[in-house]
Structure 1
Amino acid sequence: MKCIVNLAVVLMTIFAISPTQADDSAAPNVVLIISDDQGFTDYGFMGSEIARTPNLDRIAAESLLYTRGYVMPVCSPSLASLLTGRLPHVHGITGNDLSAESIKAVRAKGKLDRDPLSQRLLANSPILPKTLGEAGYQTFQTGKLWNVTAEEIGFSQGMTNTEGRHGGAGLSIGRESMQPIYDFIEDSQAKEKPFFVWYAPLLPHQPHNPPQKLLAHYQNQGLSPDAAKYFAMVEWFDQTCGELDDYLTDNNLADNTVVIYLADNGWDANRNGRAKLSPFEKGIRTPIFVRWPGKVQPQRDDETLASILDIMPTIFSACGLDVPADLSGINLVDREAMQARKSIFVEGYTHDIADLAHPEKSLVTQVVINGWDKLLIPGARRPDKEYTSAPASIELFDLKADPLEKRNLVSERPEVVARLTQLQNAEWDAAK
């Protein structure tokens, strides 16, 4: 037996085969679609009578759909959670930017402003594109990324080639063309390699400058000018998703491609201060769905909690890779495990990071959702942007009866407050 094992090791060494490397002939392709600044209500399949999203409606109907998905309330921490499978106080990216004082200190050392952020993010393991690349996948980054280049974070190819805010040159995807994705897929096909596409366009994110043809429809709906532009942007994003899905179908790739969808954080068309950067539902809730024809049964689930932390385990499992035991996320396709989980956690911080080494110094709100109960626990800081809000004291909501959080139940249900606070404290300590 020892000789057989040693022979296997020798063969893997000679042919550079990893024990966990994907079988190119069977490994599915993966497309991760990440909407940018979109409210959870703003889809046809989520009940909107305003937003026109026929492509996402169709794909969602073909998918295992969780309508109660949750993400972080702002983009950079959310994307870091996608890349690492961890909460912000663990992966270390709690906000979009360093504080002014921190930037001065970095410049004094002769370094780029984003250097501490990129180094902190890259210190995590595993990292999604790097792990997929090591398993034999061709990987491609488009759109939003934050802090690092595509190459630094492990993508085989990518559009973001400078460290910075948002994603640099990658932000042209969707707004200008989808061709870079198609070129990458064709290259992967020529190499006979499975592919992973990170499609994270700056859509429907500001600037809200939709094509006039789309905007005209919403200008006749009695909406404010800002809301009309936003909903037209939502439709524009939906069109790009349809173009990408049509490409997969037209090239006979759809059946062997896992499509996963979520938004990075929420938005409110009326800008009422309880959305982006906010721990309230319009800031952190998103639909999350997985389509894998013939492998995942289409189903709509309006009760089970899903988390952004579930994306990495889902992709790893679909690709035949081991899921690290210390990741708290669950494979979205594992219905039994998903339904057994009762709680998820969300963290909200200041937009500007006070101290990379001490996340608690930037903490605005801890959120624990247990079943239909949602507890918001204020942190040490208040929001640092005028367009957002957060509770100044503990708030408790029954999301089933009160989905938009209008009635605080703290004084009526102290036992629930105590129980959820204990859950939150245990999660924070366990995830460090």
Structure 2
Amino acid sequence: MKTHHHLFFLALALVFFGSCGGPTEAVSDTAGEEAPNIVFIISDDQAWTDYGFMGHRQLNTPNLDKLANEGLTFVQSYVPTSLCAPSLASIATGVYPRRHQVLGNDRMLPDDKPEDKEERKKIRSERYRPVIDHFRQLNTLPDMLKEKGYLSFQTGKWWLGNYANGGFDMGMTHGDPQRGGRHGDYGLEIGRKGMDTLYNYIDYALEEEKPFFLWYAPYLPHRPHNPPDSLYQKYLPLAPSEYVARYWAMCEWFDHTCGELIDYIDGKGLTGNTLFVYVCDNGWVQEENAEGYTKKSKRSPYDYGLKTPIIYKWSGKIAPQYNTRSLASSLDIVPTVLGMLNMERPEGLDGIDVLDESALTKRETLYGEIYAHDFSTIDNSLFYRMAITDPYKIIVPDEKNKPGEVVRLYNLSEDPFEETNLADQYPQIVDQLSTRIEVSWKQ
């Protein structure tokens, strides 16, 4: 699918929203004030280009456009890995996959060779159990928020067994393999089958007179791409194929659900004291003539798999701004939320508080890592490591697991779709960024 037209329309979006190359303004002082409600909105399989506020010509995403316009929106922002389970685990913990050990969606050891589907499910469940056990020992954001009296609710995607494994007080995902638990089970109904469970959680928190943390990570616009027919028919004459039309319709369907959630919170009079955070778990570029995704999107080390806008909105507390230059990461979300709540930052977090002007200015590099979908250990499953700077990005294939692949270097400011490998032209930059990756891993 042709994507270069997005550059022109992204420029138009920057004119509309305004832009800034420097650090953001800090959040207003909140010491002694009522703790805000916190709502995480996490889309599933959506390219960084596929929003109205990012300049897409056909897609309508009015609710996310409004959120971006009213919030602090980072454009040069990334997740550390381009697959659902590890990306979501990093959002919840604020650490790289190599630390939380959720490297991929499924865990299979080298000698595992299941012959049928049911045997594979059984082995997969057994192999994933120690990953879940390790994750339960980590400090997640819901765990941290208990100090402030928060009630935490999980809906949507969740790969780590029962919602309680992530520190949530309540949730939709039971995680029982005997009942089909794998990556969300009942949680995957949110959005696709209505929003009532979310509303019930909010009402319960109000009855309990406690602040709430809400994890809204619906199975949208993720496959199956089965949008309402009205949306499909809307995009069919606009898209290059029926497959793209279905994907675009799914993106707008997701946006509709976001609007419903935001409107419900507003109807309860909670908007002024609610922090909204938006991020996507990983990217997606729809194949024009097939149901799948292109090789340079999901599960890949390219920006179409890793890049996502990240939005923070808290009315009256965070100044609206469209930040087009500062490097930001989903790893920043946990420390940024803690900073807004004047909470002590625990040791070991890999991100920064993006409202700390000094930290944002000093940041020079973001890092990423890609593993096998069916992983075993870091050593046996690591595919790529990345370093992202302004303007260069390096992709370093693992010599053991990706033999024969070359190092790739791109100038993202001139080549945002990563088409021209500059590694041979700039060996010094390759050496410099490769060294930064090694130092990061040793830390």
Q: TM over 0.5, yes or no? A: yes
Displacement of 1:24: 9.6
Q: What does residue 46 of structure 2 align with?
A: 38
* Alignment partner of 1:377 is 2:385: no
Q: For structure 1, which segment, 312-321 or 178-187, has the greater mean C-alpha deviation from structure 2 after superposition? A: 312-321
Whether contact under 8 Å (1:361, 1:380) holds in the other structure is no
Of 43, 53, 56, 2:64 maps to: 56
Q: What does residue 240 of structure 1 align with?
A: 257
Listed as ranges, the matches of 1:113-132 within 5 Å are: 113-124=127-138, 126-132=139-145
Displacement of 1:334: 2.3
Give secondary structure in 1 for the equivalent of 2:50: coil
1:23, 1:145 → 2: CA distance? 33
2:223, 2:113 → 1: CA distance? 28
TM-score after normalising by structure 1: 0.88
* Alignment partner of 1:263 is 2:276: no
Of 84, 97, 100, 1:91 maps to: 100
TM-score after normalising by structure 2: 0.86
Q: For structure 1, which segment, 314-323 or 241-250, has the greater mean C-alpha deviation from structure 2 after superposition? A: 314-323
Displacement of 1:221: 1.1
Deviations 1:190-225 (A, max 9, x none): 111010000000000001100001100111114211
1:427, 1:377 → 2: CA distance? 14
Q: Which segments of 5 or more consecutive residues in structure 2 lack a partner in the other structure?
A: 1-29, 115-119, 288-292
Of 133, 136, 148, 2:149 maps to: 136
Computed over aligned residues only, the root mean square deviation of the Cα atoms, in angstroms, reads: 2.3
2:309, 2:54 → 1: CA distance? 8
Whether contact under 8 Å (1:84, 1:312) holds in the other structure is yes
1:335, 1:239 → 2: CA distance? 34
Q: Which runs of 4+ in 1 moved over 4 A?
A: 22-25, 100-111, 380-383
2:87, 2:153 → 1: CA distance? 19
Displacement of 1:152: 2.3
Q: What does residue 240 of structure 2 align with?
A: 223
The aligned length equals 399
Q: What does residue 171 of structure 2 align with?
A: 158
Of 70, 79, 103, 2:88 maps to: 79
1:411, 1:342 → 2: CA distance? 23
1:149–1:213: structure 2 CA closer, same or farther, 3 Å change rule?
Answer: same
Of 348, 351, 354, 2:373 maps to: 351
Deviations 1:368-398 (A, max 9, x none): 0122110000014658xxxxxx992100000
Give secondary structure in 2 for the equivalent of 1:300: strand
Q: Which segments of 5 or more consecutive residues in structure 1 lack a partner in the other structure?
A: 1-21, 384-389
Displacement of 1:248: 1.4
Of 334, 338, 355, 1:333 maps to: 355
Give the partner amino acid of 1:414.
P
Q: What does residue 267 of structure 2 align with?
A: 250
Displacement of 1:316: 1.5
* Alignment partner of 1:194 is 2:202: no
Displacement of 1:120: 2.4
1:166, 1:281 → 2: CA distance? 24
Deviations 1:114-168 (A, max 9, x none): 31221122232x2111221243100000000102211222111100112442211
Whether contact under 8 Å (1:360, 1:379) holds in the other structure is no
Of all paired residues, the percent bearing the same amino acid is 40
Give the partner amino acid of 1:367.
M
Give secondary structure in 1 for the equivalent of 2:405: coil
Whether contact under 8 Å (1:30, 1:258) holds in the other structure is yes
2:215, 2:111 → 1: CA distance? 30
1:23–1:142: structure 2 CA closer, same or farther, 3 Å change rule?
Answer: farther
2:352, 2:194 → 1: CA distance? 34
Of 191, 212, 225, 2:229 maps to: 212
Give the partner amino acid of 1:277.
R
Give secondary structure in 2 for the equivalent of 1:315: helix
Listed as ranges, the matches of 1:7-18 within 5 Å are: none
